[in-house]
Amino acid sequence: MPVALTKIEVNCPECGQTQMESENFISTVCRGCGHYFKSPRAKGSGRRKVRRTAVQKRELTCADCGSVQEVAEEAQSSTCLNCGRHLELGHREILGEHLGNLSLEGELKIGPRGNFGGSRARAARIVLLGRASGFLEAAEWLRVEGQTKLRTGASGGKLEICAGALLEAGEPVLFQSGQIDGELRCPMAKFAGPLRIGPQGVLVAEKATFTELTVEKGARVRVQIGETLAGSELKSGKREMEGS
Note the pLDDT of residue 4. 62
C-alpha dihedral, 179 to 155 to 93 to 90, nearest 10°: 110
Note the pLDDT of residue 79. 78
Distance CA 243, CA 214 (A): 9
Phi, psi for residue 7 in degrees, rounded to 5: -110, 155
Helix/strand/coil for 27: strand
Note the pLDDT of residue 83. 82
Classify the C-alpha dihedral 3-6-23-10 as positive or negative. positive
Q: Is 156 exposed, middle or buried (0-12, 13-18, 19+ CB in 10 A)?
A: buried
pLDDT tens by residue, 61-97:
676 677 787 877 777 777 778 887 767 777 889 999 9
Note the pLDDT of residue 77. 72
Nearest to 208, CA basis, from 227, 198, 244, 217: 227
Note the pLDDT of residue 2. 55
114: Cα separation from own chain's centroid? 21
Distance CA 205, CA 189 (A): 7
CA distances from 93 to 21, 90, 116, 186 (A): 69, 11, 10, 25
| Domain definitions of the chain by residue range | 7-38, 56-83, 90-242
Note the pLDDT of residue 234. 47
Strands 7-11, 68-72: pairing kind: unpaired
Low-confidence ranges of the chain (pLDDT < 50): 1, 46, 225-240, 244
